Amino acid sequence: MTCFIRNSFRLRHNMMCRTFALVVLLSIVVLLDAREYDCHGERSRYFKELVESLHNKPRKVNNLAPLAYSCALEQLAADAVEGCPSMPPEISKAYYSNFDHSELDQGPINTSHVTITSRLISYWRSRLQSRLKMLRPDIHRVGCAAAKCPETSGIVNVTVACIYGKGERPLLCADIERRISSKCAFRIMNQIGD
């Protein structure tokens, strides 16, 4: 009988351990949620448009060319935030970056990467050093990413990075019909000549 109880206890203990491990893995997936800025699909289109809009509002006021979203720069930003480092990694001198790392309580754990990134970009617009990077006249592309890394202590590390690159200027005339008009074609030819 004791053998049966002992084996029963082990079986129950193993099942509890497996269940616990499964709950932990599922929690990590839910807590970190899907990367909504992954340069593919509808959700990423919203993210790209949001990032462009938040960056281009102050650029427009300052008569600067708008920034275009870059999946290549997004990948650099995703690499920079992986693992939620507290300090920004070194990046090539060909790029500029805004980087932020915060330790938050569990409250914002369910907040999406899109919301976290948009709030931080809005915050950067109010900080002089970050704003100056956003308003550089020699940049034309942007890519952003965010990471959330929960810890067992209840703290959530949140890291956001936006990388700015020189690249090619975005065209002023986005749709085909407008490109045909002579005024628009003239602007495009002037941009290409820059």
Element (H or E) spanning 179, and its range?
A: helix 176-180
Q: What is the pLDDT of residues 150-190, one digit of tens each?
A: 776 777 888 889 999 986 555 444 443 343 443 433 333 33
What's the CA gap between 149 and 169, in Å, rounded? Answer: 35
The CATH number assigned to the domain with range 33-193 reads 3.40.33.10
- Return mean pLDDT, the chain: 69
pLDDT greater than 70 at residue 134: yes
Query: Which pair of tokens denotes residue 38?
Result: 């992954």
Domain boundaries along the sequence of the chain: 1-32, 33-193
For residue 67, give the nearest of 172, 146, 160, 145 by alpha carbon. Answer: 172
For residue 52, give the nearest of 167, 172, 142 by alpha carbon. Answer: 142
For residue 142, give the nearest of 46, 71, 62 by alpha carbon. Answer: 71
Q: What is the pLDDT of residues 7-57, one digit of tens each?
A: 444 544 444 433 333 233 222 223 334 344 567 666 688 888 889 998 999
